[in-house]
Copies of this chain bind each other. A is one copy, B any other.
């Protein structure tokens, strides 16, 4: 009784002193209180936000202190459903936490099955050895994605984060047999799963559970809105989003995105009604054939861009021209090849020969990016005409349009010099006299581009560092293949972090600084951003702030995290001073 009053007094004293909720250990012996230990209490993401806001309301800390107490990574819990910590079942397998949140569903082994099951009302989890762009429709239909291979920036991971969908990759103990519709855990006593079995994924830890675990839904309380207002008052770094569709763009805007930093035009090419024309373009062996096919794609792309401009009214939209190796769009199985052949009026042998022709040993380092436009200028010409026409159309509706055209994979200044002329000509043709200001910039995503950035800047209105590719080339590390050995590197402490998750300050960071210095040496006001997956990772966002970036760009669900990280970067800087 007396001790209780004493405890309350001491607890208040300690909480006032530390200005934070305290986790107290004490004992009472013969009516006397003994304090054993005190530390700031552990809390869920939601509690973290609420406590910080409450402490400001109670006048114990100020807004800046509140923001500095937010662990941006923990916001994932606020933005996504999570597994109830009180009822976690035993783990069946473990991979990489590729996209946060939790998901429960019945497993299917093909994108088509995912779509069919989802259409009849099932909640499914797509299980693959690895995903490719052809699986997009199945990934959309699934509530979660599990792959045996890949890494933190493999196709499945990037797409899932973009969709805000739970994903576990590189679950190396899993052997997937899509033909037999089974997935086996190779760990001792590991179970074999069949199509239709239920599993639960924890995308924040990388764990896989058999059966369904109890979930706690996402909890966006009013405190989060208050906190984010303070965050925006503090930060100087802008936060944009990587979004390819109006839906993604809308989500990102609702999370506070201040523009699109990366619209990957290739994702528009995969839609079923378009892929035929795209394949026709690729199989064409001359310019006339390519132009004919591009003529079919252009009106569709124009509609896409127009819709994006509408959603993002008044905010900049950075559109990256076609980047991936063409063969990514081609079919691979004999059955798919036959379908394509029929669609485009060629024999399966002709299509197969063209596919073989386009196959590359190392596609990441192959015929892609602006190399496509140096060899086939008509591809970028068509895209830019569509962008110009869309901008003119939307501007007529009274909407402010701010297009930024971005050219990928530049390695020598001459590429950009030539393509800038090409883009300008095609944009002006598309705009057809409409007075809409637009800029032309480039991705800096190769070490060589960082080294000669001063001369590249002569032809660029902005730089956007593509840190996924820059990490790949700086480390000589394929993000699709690193899953085979990166776990050993991480477990053994050879590297502190997966460089695809956390921007490497010493290597990639040093090259980026070289690039920023070079670019701003030529153009002091050069706008500099980042559009790799790192744009949503807190410590990478802080690094970008320190390096003097104008903005970061990340997938929609990571926008709030990046905003908090950007504000904390300002506070950290003040502390250092």
Q: Which residues of A contact B (CB under 8 A)?
A: 132, 360-367, 371, 374-375, 409, 411-412, 414-415, 418, 445-448, 451-452, 469, 472-478, 480-482, 484-485, 488-489, 492-495, 504, 506-508, 510-511
Contacts and interface: CB of A to CB of B under 8 A. Distances in A.
A374 B488 contact: yes
A328 to B, nearest CB: 11
Contacts of A360: 478, 480-481, 484
Contact of A478 (B361, B375, B412, B472): B361
A446 B511 CA distance: 12
A132 to B, nearest CB: 8
Contacts of A366: 478, 481-482, 484
Contacts of A476: 364-365, 409, 411, 445-448, 469, 473
25 contacts: A361-B364, A361-B480, A362-B362, A364-B365, A364-B476, A365-B477, A366-B478, A366-B482, A366-B484, A367-B481, A367-B484, A374-B494, A375-B484, A411-B476, A411-B477, A414-B494, A414-B495, A415-B494, A446-B476, A447-B476, A448-B475, A452-B510, A469-B476, A473-B474, A473-B476
Contact of A506 (B451, B508, B511): B451
A320 to B, nearest CB: 16
Contacts of A361: 132, 363-364, 478, 480-481
Contact of A365 (B362, B374, B418): B362
A388 B494 CA distance: 27
B447 A363 contact: no
Contacts of A474: 446-448, 451, 473
A485 B365 contact: no
A37 to B, nearest CB: 36
A379 B484 CA distance: 17
B478 A374 contact: no
A451 B411 contact: no
A484 B476 CA distance: 22
Nearest to A130: B361
Contacts of A478: 360-362, 364-366
Nearest to A493: B414
A65 to B, nearest CB: 37
| A361, A448, A476 interface centre (most CB from chain B within 10 Å) | A476
A448 B508 CA distance: 7
Most-contacted residue by chain B among A361, A375, A445 (CB, 10 A):
A361
Q: Which has the most chain B C-beta neighbours within 10 Å: A412, A448, A452, A477?
A: A448
- Which residue among A362, A363, A367, A411 has the maximum number of chain B CB atoms within 10 Å of its CB? A362
A508 B411 CA distance: 11
Given A365-B365, A448-B476, 7 more contacts: A365-B472, A367-B485, A447-B507, A448-B507, A448-B508, A452-B510, A473-B476
A155 to B, nearest CB: 9
A38 B298 CA distance: 60
Closest 4 CB pairs of A and B: A365-B478, A448-B507, A447-B447, A362-B478
Contacts of A371: 485
Nearest to A450: B447
Given A361-B481, A362-B481, A475 B375 contact: no
A541 B478 CA distance: 31
Given A374-B485, A375-B485, A447 B511 contact: yes
A190 to B, nearest CB: 15
Contacts of A495: 412, 414
A185 to B, nearest CB: 16
B375 A488 contact: yes
Contacts of A504: 448
B469 A507 contact: no
Nearest to A484: B367
A374 B452 contact: no
A362 B324 CA distance: 14
A480 B361 CA distance: 7
Given A367-B484, A446-B475, A488-B374, A507 B362 contact: no
Contact of A452 (B414, B489, B494, B506): B506
A258 to B, nearest CB: 30
Given A485-B375, A494-B374, A411 B475 contact: yes
A52 B360 CA distance: 47
Contacts of A485: 367, 371, 374-375
A412 B494 contact: yes
A283 to B, nearest CB: 15
Contact of A374 (B446, B489, B510): B489
A455 B170 CA distance: 31
